Chain A
């Protein structure tokens, strides 16, 4: 089973500004090595949220693998092994679970996807939308429309449910889970995104 996770951070949102200079905050969410990476970055605030989005995307994969939910993000470590200005590929270790991450950086957002198997990155489908410009068409509706089109089925028979205990989302068709899809959603500020992997 290939599991996927994603996370987006709105880099322009007021809640996400000027956080990298707050050492108390950094110590609560980053490992010592990651703090050094942030402090040495050309744009420390962007690096902070880039690391955070990797952690969150990897955390979603680890939760799907059965680890218990936790808040302490220092238990997730990120190591970038291939970077350029706009694309960061890395390895995440969530407690004892290793995942791989891929992050796209723009002026507006840091967007990460994660999986245990980096070989599936090219097969992960998804999209990012600006919520403000798509008010009548939420990210979840867009995913359902997409799936309805793939299978040529009525969208009214599709829904997105969440496991009551784990909060992991899944797609339902005529009240039955569509197990061949693994999905993940994220939103922050004016950005939202979905991904899915079709087994």
Chain B
């Protein structure tokens, strides 16, 4: 799976938890998941579990802390896939 395919899957998962779809009109790689995409902080754990299931990886809590932006999520997933 290349970076673009991973990013596409990440965005699909994030969109599932977006309650204000209009935020995607201005979203980019550096968009912050909670503040820019307006995703409720309680959903971060659901998103993390979806990442784990989709990419068959285990994201520990320190790695979860690194996921602030879309780009961060893609980076963490790539790192874990390469381990």
Specify whether A and B are partners: yes
Most buried by A among B41, B45, B64, B67: B45
Please give, as numbers and ranges, the residues of chain B lying within 8 Å of A29 by CB-CB distance.
45
- Measured between C-beta atoms, what is the minimum distance from B44 to chain A in Å? 5
Max chain A CB contacts within 10 Å: which of B43, B65, B67? Answer: B65
Beta-carbon contact of B40 and A188 below 8 Å: yes
In the complex, which of the residues B40, B42, B45 has the most CB atoms of chain A within 10 Å of its own CB atom? B42
Q: Does A74 contact B (CB under 8 A)?
A: yes
Interface SS of chain B: helix
Q: Is the CB of A167 within 8 A of B35?
A: yes
Q: Does A25 contact B (CB under 8 A)?
A: yes
Query: How many angstroms from the CA of A56 to the CA of B35 in the assembled complex?
Result: 15
Beyond A52-B42, A167-B35, A188-B42, whether A24 also contacts B65 by CB under 8 A is no
Residues of B within 8 A of A171 (CB): none
Cβ-Cβ contact count across A and B, 8 Å cutoff: 40
The 8 A CB mask of A25-36 against B (1 = contact, 0 = none) is: 100110000000
A188–B17 alpha-carbon span in the complex (Å): 13
A-B contact sample (14 more), CB < 8 A, given A71-B68, A188-B42 = A9-B42, A15-B46, A22-B49, A24-B49, A25-B49, A28-B45, A28-B49, A28-B61, A29-B45, A52-B42, A56-B42, A71-B65, A73-B45, A188-B40
Bound state CA distance, A54 and B67, in angstroms? 22
Which A residues between 71 and 102 are near B, CB-CB below 8 angstroms? 71-75
Q: Which of B17, B41, B49, B67 is within 8 Å of A56, CB to CB?
A: B41
Return chain B residues, CB-CB under 8 Å to A37.
Answer: none
Q: Are A71 and B46 in contact (CB under 8 A)?
A: no
Please give the number of chain B residues whose Cβ is less than 8 angstroms from any Cβ of chain A in the complex.
18
- On whether the beta carbons of B65 and A15 are closer than 8 Å, the reply is no
A66 located at the interface, meaning its Cβ lies under 8 Å from any Cβ of chain B in the complex: no
Per the bound structure, the CA–CA distance linking A56 and B34 in Å amounts to: 13
Chain A min CB distance to B26 (Å): 16
- By Cβ-Cβ distance, the 3 closest A-B pairs, closest first, are A72-B61, A72-B65, A28-B45
CB within 8 Å of B: which of A1-59? 9, 15-16, 22, 24-25, 28-29, 52, 56
Known: A56-B41, A167-B35, A188-B40. A70 touches B46 (CB 8 A): no
Task: List B contacts of A167 (CB < 8 A).
Answer: 35
Which residues of chain A are near B45, meaning CB under 8 Å? 25, 28-29, 73
